[in-house]
Structure 1
Amino acid sequence: MSAPQSVAGSALGVFTQAELLTLQHQQQIMAQRSHQSGAPADRGRGTSRQSQPSSRAVSAASSQSIPGRIMLDPHSLQALHAHLENVMRTIQRRIEELEDATEQSVRNSSGRAGTSIQNADKEIARMRRIMQDIDTLEEEFEKIKRIRDKIKAIRNNVDQLSEKLDRSRPSGHGAGGARRR
């Protein structure tokens, strides 16, 4: 093989320790879902230049996944990017639900404050918990967003390198040109 299929996340130098832990956790979730369903829910961009469906690459990547390592083939990176997009959408929906609950809590608190201090205190405590949940989710959202953006950049670099390799192969001198690193 001319290039490694995976690399240690820390070797890339673009992730913080917390981001690496989150990325590893998300890769495990993605691999488990792939194994449970037999194929990923989102096939990404379709077929590659070699007409290999991305679901095969993702299945292979998940079966070959090594904890702490990031698969560098374009299909695995595309699947990981799509998975992180879904996670971000889920977090965003939950933030919106919590914001709506906060607004409702504030309305409920102000409407009953005059008649029931006890109920108002409960709603205020609930609102504080909701606000904490929103803060936590917003931090998680930003962390996932940073990871997703870094994965996208890595995927683009891999795609560019793959294209360079594809262009260099026809111009190489026989089999020796394809083995260069």
Structure 2
Amino acid sequence: MSASMSVPDVRLGLTSSELQMVVHQQQIALQGSHAGSVASRGRGMGRNSNSSSRAASAASSHGRLLLDPDSLQALNYQLDGLLRDIRRRIDYLNEQSELSIQNTYDKAGNVIADADVEIARMRHILASIDELENEFDKICRIRDIVKGFRSRVESLDHRLDQAARRRR
């Protein structure tokens, strides 16, 4: 049997919730190593793991951690797996964040491009309005000129009618 040592949580500086989590992970790791050791190592090592599991359970019931090499190794593998899962999740979330940012950037670019097109269209419309106002001013001047000619023609016509009446 390997030398085991248990330490109170006070010396490790863990909070009670951290200690509970470590003890729980240690028990999971020991159960996993016990199942693996029976299948791979045969009967002799299974007894050893079983006693390690019992020792870990007894230590955790007293608020202590079992620090034998087998349980620490099993706990290390368990925590490494958790860290790998956390890293994968962080990488996935970073990738999703980058995609979201890129999509938002693309949408903003499209909105800006659409706004630029609309601004150009509005400037074209305003330029057309200015041209139409200039044409309208020209038409008004032409109308005034035509009114003046009409007034002269009517005046000449009126004079001709008076001259014709006088001759009769």
TM-score band (shorter)? 0.3 to 0.5
Higher helix share: 2
TM-score normalised to structure 2 length = 0.47
**Greater Rg over alpha carbons, structure:** 2
